[in-house]
Amino acid sequence: IHMRRKHSIGVRKAKVAAQKVADDLAEEFGIESEWDSHVLRFSRHGVDGALTVAKDEVVLTAKLGFVLSVFKTKIEDHINDRFDKYFT
């Protein structure tokens, strides 16, 4: 998965928004995350990725395992919903 979203909320607010996305995904799917400067790295069995925060955009990259790859479109839709909610 590779997703890019422009925003106009600045780095500080974007990091807060990224954490909210991560918290939602942790609650729903058991995904664990950890900050490394402006990169939120996340993982669980079957998925590894990162959400990179910049002053005017966020970029999500994720590698799905075989089982989760079947749900790629659904996962992308879910992430887009969270981006719409927190990065506007």
Give 31-65 pLDDT, tens digit per residue.
899 999 999 999 999 999 999 999 999 999 999 99
Task: Find, among 88, 68, 82, the residue nearest to 3 by Cα.
Answer: 82
pLDDT digits (tens, 9 = 90+) for 63-85: 999 998 999 999 999 999 999 99
DSSP 20: H
Question: Which residues have CB under 8 Å from 28's CB, separation 6+?
Answer: none
Q: What is the pTM of this model?
A: 0.89
CB 21 within 8 A of CB 83: yes
